[in-house]
Amino acid sequence: MTKRTFEEILGIYNTPLLELVYEAATVHRKFNNPSEVQVSSLVSIKTGGCSEDCSYCPQSARYHTGVEVHKLMQVEEVLDAAKKAKSGGASRLCMGAAWREVRDNSDFDRVLEMVKAVNGLEMEVCCTLGMLTASQAQRLAEAGLYAYNHNLDTSEDNYKSIITTRKYSDRLNTIANVRKAGVTVCSGGIIGLGESVEDRVSLLLTLSALDPPPESVPINALVPVEGTPLEEQPLLPIWDMVRMIATTRIVMPGTVVRLSAGRTQMSAEGQALCFMAGANSIFAGDKLLTTPNPDFNSDMELFQLLGIKPRAPFQVKNKHEFV
């Protein structure tokens, strides 16, 4: 099927809001079960002290944000966190490390052990560890990794104003390495950085042009953190999140669209509109990597209120037909 052009995606994004939500909800029902939402849990396996200068990130060593640096966790600690997340209803565990890239050392060997251990719990295992070579992606695949998260974050044009220590092409290379290793790709972005509508559209164009597109696309609202260059950034209006989620759903109909960071700043009604517009995944648990997230019980209350059920693991099929 033909993929959409920049102008077409811009046209979708700018559709009158209720019409846009209706269209996205219609596409969502055609490709997915609208009453199922995938629940992931995050563990920060290595926190802070990162050498990159991502201007949104509290974990960069360049900013004074009060995040305490922690070296790589032990396998047992991660396994305990995974068991807790599973008993709370999470089907996926995402392990995040504040690394620029993976190095072939004993820390990486330990991460491989973590992947094997969590995989043994019948949970989808995801990692986000920074840049990967082809052989590192292959070793993660052999350990049983299900998904790798590596966000493009914004448009290629805007990238330089957000991060100077790596290039957009570095990100695309890692994504290609993950794809080649047969691991599912999780890649999305952040909105509320001060980017234009065109930057958001361009990000969606790049993601949807990947062949195949990512199996999951996290849409993060910036969580402004004191000490980062973006600390003064105004909170993202919920309507922008709804538009972004709806447009993502329409251009990538079979992808898991994750309503990611920023939910503590959103009302229940705002989140409900995002689910209506096609969001079908969240991070649950009271912490993201370093910042707060709604607590598990309030999310389950919201699910019950809206008639949503957490999705069982290992459901992703390759159903990236473009309508």
CB of 227 to ligand DTB, least distance (A): 12
Site string for ligand SF4, 104-133 (x = CB under 6 A): --------------------------x---
CA atoms within 13 A on the CB side of 206: 21
Beta bridge partner(s), residue 36: 309
Rounded Cα distance, 251 and 213, in Å: 10
For 70, the 3-state DSSP assignment is strand
Inter-residue contact 242 to 221 (CB < 8 Å): no
**Is there a catalytic annotation at residue 94?**
yes
Does 52 help bind ligand SF4 (rule: CB under 6 A)?
A: yes
**Using the rule CB under 6 A, is 149 a contact of ligand DTB?**
yes
Residue 127 bears catalytic tag: no
Residue number, 23 or 220, with CB nearest to ligand DTB: 220
* 30-38, 96-104, 117-125, 196-204 -> range binding ligand SAM (CB under 6 A): 96-104
Q: Measured from the CB atom, is 33 or 161 closer to ligand SAM?
A: 161
CB atoms within 10 A of CB 302: 18
Residues with Cβ within 8 Å of 26's Cβ and at least 6 positions away in sequence, in order, are: none
Which range of residues in 17-25, 78-86, 285-293, 300-308 is near ligand DTB by CB under 6 A? 285-293
Q: Is 115 in the site for ligand DTB (CB under 6 A)?
A: no
Which of these, 145, 136, 209, 216, lies nearest to 183 by C-alpha position? 145
Give the count of alpha carbons within 13 A of 202, CB side only. 14
Distance, CA of 270 to CA of 239 (rounded, Å): 8
Active-site annotation, residues: 50, 54, 57, 94, 126, 186, 258
**Residues near ligand SF4 (CB under 6 A):** 50, 52, 54, 57, 59-60, 98, 100, 130
**Residues near ligand SAM (CB under 6 A):** 56-57, 59, 96, 98-99, 128, 130, 150-151, 153, 190, 220, 222-223, 225, 261, 289
